[in-house]
A and B are shown apart, each in its own frame.
Chain A
Amino acid sequence: MTREEIRAAVLRTLGEIAPEADPATLVSDVPFRDQLDLDSMDHLNFVIALHAALQVEIPEADYPKLATLDACVDYLAAAATR
């Protein structure tokens, strides 16, 4: 899976959890939580959906590595090759 495909999957997942998320205005290096009204339940659902969509294991200790769009793509691209 390419980085662009991963990025699209992340944005699609985010859109399902926070419908107000607009890919056009989302700043890729600013934490999601500073841009969207997300709580820990939203974040858990985000991780669950990413796991289901990309078949990537995401330990709880790695949750901070999913804070921004750029960080998500980096982490998931690396995880996919493990």
Chain B
Amino acid sequence: MPILTADMSAGTLVEWRKRPGDALARGDTIAVVETDKGLIDIEVFTPGVLEKIIVQPGATVPTGAVLAIVRETTPAAAPSPAPPPRAPVVPPARRAVAPTAAPSDRVRISPLARKRAAELGIDPASVRGTGPGGSIRREDVEQAAAARAAAPAEKPRAPLDRQARARQAIGAAMARSKREIPHYYLATTIDMHRAMTWLAEQNLERPVADRLLYGVLLLKAVALALRDVPELNAVWRESEPVRSEAVHVGVAISLRGGGLVAPALHDTAGKSLGDLMRSFRDLVQRARSGGLRSSELSDPTITVTSLGEQGVESAFGIIFPPQVAIVGFGKIVERPWVVDGQVVARPVVTATLSADHRVSDGHRGGLFLAAVDRLLQEPGRL
């Protein structure tokens, strides 16, 4: 069961989309899993053949549990006999999301122990380490697995409804973020006159289905500003930040009836505004109706939260682990603004940055917000 978001601890296997013996190509949907974020398509990241299904539809299992056994195929090995299956093998989705998987990222654990934990379906965060500095060794994982097997079955608890579970999961992830990440916060006010004027002109020309929302300009400006301060586009792994070449901005989307999800808009910096808008619409639609892909949940390299719709003027976010920064935007409001020595009414927006002090400092964060401002003054170049 892949760890798709920092606040995920278990998932329910809803449906297998492949059968034993089926060939698996990168990007195929192998299964559908239900989480607190709705139904998620689990994608394959490594080509292979589905050897055996372990978890049957309807079963709820903890993250890290083995769902199926997959025999990997390597193109170069075509003439030689197929390699014997590894048993048990971590499903491809788990393998692919592991580098950005959050809950275990802050645990000191040896690679061997991490692999063993995945095999045994043990959450490293629940294991007490006896190695140097409290690090977790393979023996610790095996001991935890043995203890789990020997423990009497837990009494079934009254099931929480989905909203309550989602709230609980978000609370746990955010509490961990505040506990472990030394946040610092910055804010700036950005004149949106040029951006909004340009947008109105653009939308006059565009067919209704291709019109842009101003939120897309903000997303693109954030993605491009990361070129100036690339350390904010990263994930925290083990005990250090790992920068990402690709910019996959996670967009916080409120779900109907409560809760939120922040899936990735893949390659935010490389897409044109029109393509970005189409992807954004599609992402919001799937987030609210089911059908997000596992990569969209595990890939964000930074998050943008925009609460202007609710009328708030500024939003200071809590970083989504394992990311190291979150950008907030408030409502666009008309305010007195000085232009060439004259006070004029201008639409302005408050942009904020919450960032991890282990990775960047206020000076670099300030440069980032200044870059966002600068980019929004030239909307035609976004």
A residues with a Cβ closer than 8 A to B are 18-20, 37, 39-41, 44-45, 47-48, 51, 57-61
B208 touches A47 (CB 8 A): yes
A59 surroundings in chain B (CB, below 8 A) = 204
C-beta contact mask, B250-285 vs A, less than 8 Å → 1, else 0? 000010110000000000000000000000110011
Expressed in whole angstroms, the Cα–Cα distance for A48 and B280 within the complex equals: 15
Counting CB contacts under 8 A, is B215 at the interface? yes
Query: In the complex, which residue of chain B has the Cβ closest to the Cβ of A60?
Result: B203
A48 surroundings in chain B (CB, below 8 A) = 208-209
Counting CB contacts under 8 A, is B200 at the interface? yes
Expressed in whole angstroms, the Cα–Cα distance for A20 and B288 within the complex equals: 13
A60 touches B256 (CB 8 A): no
Expressed in whole angstroms, the Cα–Cα distance for A51 and B209 within the complex equals: 9
Expressed in whole angstroms, the Cα–Cα distance for A37 and B204 within the complex equals: 27
B256 touches A44 (CB 8 A): no
Query: In the complex, which residue of chain B has the Cβ closest to the Cβ of A42?
Result: B284
A40 touches B256 (CB 8 A): no
B281 touches A18 (CB 8 A): no
Selected from A20, A37, A40, A58, the residue in CB contact (under 8 A) with B213 is: A40
Counting CB contacts under 8 A, is B309 at the interface? yes
Counting CB contacts under 8 A, is B211 at the interface? yes
A39 touches B256 (CB 8 A): no
Nearest CB on A from B331, distance (A): 11
Selected from A40, A45, A58, the residue in CB contact (under 8 A) with B309 is: A40
Instruction: Please report whether the interface of chain B is mostly helix, strand, loop or mixed according to DSSP.
Output: helix
Known A41-B284, A48-B209, A51-B208; judge A60-B200 contact (CB<8 A): yes
A–B complex contacts, Cβ < 8 Å, 26 sampled: A20-B256, A37-B254, A37-B256, A39-B254, A40-B213, A40-B215, A40-B309, A41-B213, A41-B215, A41-B280, A41-B281, A41-B284, A44-B213, A44-B281, A45-B281, A45-B285, A47-B208, A48-B208, A48-B209, A51-B209, A58-B208, A59-B204, A60-B200, A60-B203, A60-B204, A60-B211
Expressed in whole angstroms, the Cα–Cα distance for A26 and B284 within the complex equals: 24
B residues with a Cβ closer than 8 A to A are 200, 203-204, 208-209, 211, 213, 215, 254, 256-257, 280-281, 284-285, 309
Expressed in whole angstroms, the Cα–Cα distance for A61 and B196 within the complex equals: 13
Expressed in whole angstroms, the Cα–Cα distance for A71 and B198 within the complex equals: 28
A58 surroundings in chain B (CB, below 8 A) = 208
B204 surroundings in chain A (CB, below 8 A) = 59-60
Selected from B200, B257, B285, B309, the residue in CB contact (under 8 A) with A39 is: B309
A57 surroundings in chain B (CB, below 8 A) = 208
A41 surroundings in chain B (CB, below 8 A) = 213, 215, 280-281, 284
Nearest CB on B from A58, distance (A): 6
Query: In the complex, which residue of chain A has the Cβ closest to the Cβ of B213?
Result: A40
Query: In the complex, which residue of chain B has the Cβ closest to the Cβ of A59?
Result: B204
The 7 nearest A-B residue pairs measured at CB: A39-B309, A60-B203, A51-B208, A41-B284, A48-B209, A40-B213, A48-B208
Expressed in whole angstroms, the Cα–Cα distance for A15 and B284 within the complex equals: 17
A47 surroundings in chain B (CB, below 8 A) = 208
B256 surroundings in chain A (CB, below 8 A) = 18-20, 37
Expressed in whole angstroms, the Cα–Cα distance for A37 and B254 within the complex equals: 10
Expressed in whole angstroms, the Cα–Cα distance for A60 and B202 within the complex equals: 10
Expressed in whole angstroms, the Cα–Cα distance for A40 and B331 within the complex equals: 12
Nearest CB on A from B115, distance (A): 42
Expressed in whole angstroms, the Cα–Cα distance for A20 and B257 within the complex equals: 9
Query: In the complex, which residue of chain B has the Cβ closest to the Cβ of A38?
Result: B309
Further contacts, 6 of them, CB under 8 A, given A19-B256, A37-B256, A57-B208? A18-B256, A37-B254, A40-B213, A40-B215, A41-B215, A45-B285
B254 touches A44 (CB 8 A): no
Nearest CB on A from B150, distance (A): 47
Query: In the complex, which residue of chain A has the Cβ closest to the Cβ of B215?
Result: A40
B211 surroundings in chain A (CB, below 8 A) = 44, 60
Nearest CB on B from A59, distance (A): 7
Query: In the complex, which residue of chain A has the Cβ closest to the Cβ of B210?
Result: A48
Most buried by B among A20, A47, A48, A60: A60
